Amino acid sequence: MASAAAALNPGELKAVVYDAPVLRYYLTRNSGTRFRLVGQVFEKQLYGIGLQQESPFRLAINRALLALNERGFMTQLEKKWFGSTPEL
């Protein structure tokens, strides 16, 4: 992202297409920039945790993630790392 931002500044590039979470993180950490998110996400993709098939950890991980989500912790993390930029 740093090299893309460096190319955007002098006008070498007009736009950057990249993963929305990475762009949101960059904008949160570089709030003084003139860059902004525009348009809609081209293709929404989800993230996952890779485990071996029949892993004994799957159920525990799913339960922990569900509990964190239900308590609003995932929303807190999103605000902390991605700022208040709305989900595209």
pLDDT in tens, 9-59: 777 888 888 888 888 888 888 878 888 888 888 888 888 899 999 999 999
How many C-beta neighbours within 10 Å does residue 16 have?
A: 15
**Would you state the structure tokens that stand for residue 22, as one six-digit string?**
């990475």
Distances (CA, A) of 42 to 4, 20, 21, 22, 85: 19, 10, 13, 15, 17
Residue 88 clears pLDDT 50, i.e. is over it: no
